[in-house]
Amino acid sequence: MKLYLDGRWLSRPHHGVATYLLGLIEALANATSDSSADWLEVYVGVEYEAAIPPELCDANVRFLVTGRQNILWRLLGLPIFLKKHQIDVAHFQYFCPLLKLGMKYITTVHDVLFLSHPELFPASYRAFRLPLFWLAARLSDILLTISDASREDIRKYLHYNGPIEIMRLGIEAKLRSQKVGENPDSRLSPNKYLLTVGRVETRKNYPRLARAYAAAGLREHGIHLVIVGWCESFERTEAERFSSIPGVIWLQRVDDGQLNWLYQNASGFIFPSLCEGFGLPLAEALFAGLPCAASNTYPLSDVLAVCNIAFDPYQEGEMVAALHALAARPPQHADVGTTLSEYDWDRSIQQYIGLLRVVGPRVAGRLL
């Protein structure tokens, strides 16, 4: 069976979808190297060669360079490209092409936040994506999502009553396997900064967090606020609202080793998001052993339950108190690994391989 993963997201550093894809690709590479899935060939489409993650260059994965294509090509031209490479099953993120040409489609809809929280997204963004998401739910042979909360939102806002499989992300193994890199910024010292991670966009609530940091007076005590997040060009105005505040260090691009250094050396982690489908950085910070404060709008109750502090992300005063508490390094809960043990790629990849056997029985039956 030839499986294609749409990897254009790998061009976007520290995007949640890119992290999801990296974990999935690595787990598939491991599975195809032993007898559990030796019948599977994995292909990943990337926009350019430089987007291929170095750690996957020697993996049991083939990369196909598509070039940076427009939306029309992704909707209509990509199936022709896949047919040329004799792909049996193609896996997309959020939406899929409108043509199938004999192959099967898997689509992961991570969230539908633009529908559940429309006030945080431009009207043009919502109008363009709604029909694509609606069609993807109905064109896909398997529809995946990453949490119970996202599944309920997909049913509610896309009016979809078909089957939706929840495949949870792996977290702990990723952190265990990463090496600690170098300090990405000379202004930082261990235990003298608070950290948050996530792409720059309105729903991440960074301007309010930066104002709360300034109001907390932590800079006078030598404590920085570090925001790690890639920024699209159209979100530059959002970035300007927080990056100029003294003591705030915005790092748009760090490599995995540098990010791991930041997790290992922070005083604490704060997650001020107004809405999330999953929010992987918070779970990663918990597994890294950091004291954590999170928005009480965070959708995953099992993750939120092991945080030290929960706060209203719309209330700057509550955020100030959370920052003060983190700077004082409250004790970390001891049961994080037990509580979040289901977030494991070894478990999820077996679920995924089982779905591949179902969606492509003719191909799998012939090879097995």
For 280, the enclosing helix (H) or strand (E) is helix 280-287
Q: Is the pLDDT of residue 166 over 60?
A: yes
Q: Where are the domains of the chain?
A: 2-170+344-367, 180-339
Architecture of domain 180-339: 3-Layer(aba) Sandwich (3.40)
Greater confidence (368 vs 59) lies with: 59
| Residue 250, strand partner residues | 227
For 107, the enclosing helix (H) or strand (E) is strand 104-108
329-344 pLDDT, tens digit per residue, is: 765 654 666 667 778 8
H-state helical runs in 117-189 = 123-139, 148-157, 172-177
* % of the chain at pLDDT higher than 70: 91
Could you give the 3-state DSSP secondary structure of residue 260? helix
CA distance 34 to 16: 28
Q: How far apart are the first and last CA of the chain?
A: 10
Mean pLDDT of the chain: 88
280-295 pLDDT, tens digit per residue, is: 888 888 888 889 999 9
What would the two tokens of residue 24 be?
A: 């999935």
- Would you state the pLDDT for residue 368? 44
CA distance 178 to 180: 6
231-252 pLDDT, tens digit per residue, is: 876 677 888 888 889 999 999 8
What would the two tokens of residue 328 be?
A: 């004082």
CATH topology identical between 2-170+344-367 and 180-339: yes
67-96 pLDDT, tens digit per residue, is: 999 999 999 999 999 999 999 999 999 999
Q: How many CA atoms lie within 13 A of 368 on its CB side?
A: 14
With respect to CATH, is domain 2-170+344-367 assigned 3.40.50.2000?
Answer: yes
Q: How far is CA 152 from the centre of its chain?
A: 19
